[in-house]
Structure 1
């Protein structure tokens, strides 16, 4: 049985599909979900723009629109929306820590809002890229925070990975990140700066001068984005994957990248950049990749006989 996480544990039961649901949240209808999701995005828009807003005032206004709910229910629901935003590779409100429970109808409501407001995602991606570009120019925060991959943690994932993968597939988070070339390019540029700075700080300016942005200079066929070095001179082949979502946001990896990783197990590294638009974080994994990620075939090359 999958463990239950979060403060809703005492209120869980199983629906007919076997999914764990909160008894406090199971009867939210689409209209209620759409109202609270719209309110969440109103606050998030203000937060990202640096405008002050009052959460208590937002809750009071929602109580008038949602007479069946109370403050606690609305607070929990806002935190559930933060979790849904994690699943979908989106930025979320800092002050609402993600509360994970299996609420497919709420995820659907967030997807409805995103589909109805495509300019929101595009605008925030662009602003995130511009913000990182400005930090590159002024030289701030040149060295990335790189922590352990989630697979190295002793804690289990906050939700069933199959459920998270199903949500991500429904919205195709990985494909949307992959298609966002500006986001991917900004992530590669961020890691390029990190690599050069680490070598310079290690008194290896000679190696820093040799670091190359392979994807920019030679295209995507090399199976890695950046050619760099360890301070002792060993080569580093770095493939960069970037998202505005959390550290468990799925990503696409090509057959060629997997082949190059297997052929260069001692030098190939995947650097996963996450939370990119707010405060970029990263982790690094090395081959064999299937020790860290579940590889799922999503397309096939079809050749005529």
Structure 2
């Protein structure tokens, strides 16, 4: 039978999590195993698995707040009721963290060097794997500072441009490997040549010569970081579903990885409205 965690145990776990997150964002040495072992001594006979699930709970809460989370601790919902309050209280008492989050979301690393461009692609997560369903929505939890840093990072134009260049390099490698170098030479950086109204960022090609419309979404954070799409992008994915690909590039800080969603995004993602148009009449 599972025992409820005391407030002091939750507070100790939240404190330890934020220490790891700070180290990760400032590129300090981080030994996650050493952290959970040290934390275990402060808790009431908790197992490694129980501690790691609590870390994952904190990741889920931070994503809902729009705050970066530790890469490797996959968000896990169904946390105990007191956890969001403890996280919020820690953030209130440590306002310097907000400066760190702001600087990190506004920064843009250079395009990381990669030995094998094609190895960056992996299988996309399913809605079942993420524990989401189409139209599902977690209760809102707000960052005490009132800032959504994940949304702020998504608007980081320098980061977006660097991610698009990475994906262009990937596409060139894919076509060259298939023996279609002339097609690789025709790849167009549409977001620069035509602007955002096009509905996609990169014009590439399938190996049979058909157009491949690619929307690029880049984050320095983990695979489970939500991304933002516009109405124009969503409608374009529907109208051009057979040729549309969204490339989600993540972990761009050091070890970039990505997955591709092919076709209309409705049904492949859990979509939540984040902006409404209001009219008086």
Contact 2:105 2:150 in 1 (8 A): no
Question: How far 1:203 sits from its partner (Å)?
Answer: 2.4
1:200 equivalent in alignment to 2:176: yes
Could you tell me which residue of structure 2 aligns to residue 120 of structure 1? 100
2:68 counterpart (67, 85, 90): 90
User: Displacement of 1:206 after TM fit?
Assistant: 1.4
Unaligned regions of 5+ residues in structure 1, if any? 1-9, 12-22
Q: Provide Cα deviations, 1:38-62, integer angstroms capped at 9, x if missing partner.
A: 3223234445625265854775478
Contact 2:84–2:141 under 8 Å retained in 1: no
TM-score for both structures, normalised by structure 1: 0.70
In structure 2, relative to structure 1, the CA distance for the partners of 1:266 and 1:185 (3 Å cut) is same
Q: 1:71-130: CA deviations, max 9, x gaps?
A: 526873354223432561734264x67665423533454455567312322444567x42
Size of the aligned set, in residue pairs, is 269
Structure 2 residue 21 is matched with structure 1 residue 51? no
Q: Distance in 1 between matches of 2:159 and 2:84?
A: 24
Residue pairs, 1:1-305, within 5 angstroms: 10-11=1-2, 23-25=3-5, 27-28=6-7, 33-46=10-23, 49-51=27-29, 53=31, 55-56=33-34, 59-60=37-38, 63=41, 69-70=43-44, 72=46, 76-85=50-59, 88=63, 90-92=68-70, 94=72, 101-110=78-87, 116=95, 117-125=97-105, 129-130=108-109, 132-135=110-113, 139-151=114-126, 156-157=128-129, 159=131, 165-166=137-138, 170=142, 172=148, 175-303=151-279, 305=281
Per-residue deviation, 1:210: 1.4
Q: How far off is 1:246 after superposition?
A: 4.2
Q: What SS does the aligned partner of 1:289 have? A: coil
SS at structure 1 position matched to 2:247:
strand
Q: Is the 8 A contact 1:173 1:249 kept in 2?
A: no
CA-CA distance at 1:207 after TM superposition = 1.4
Listed as ranges, the gaps of 5+ residues in structure 2 are none
CA distance in structure 2 between the partners assigned to 1:195 and 1:261 by the alignment:
19
- Alignment check: 8 A CA contact 1:114 1:120 kept: no
More off after superposition, 44-53 vs 273-282:
44-53
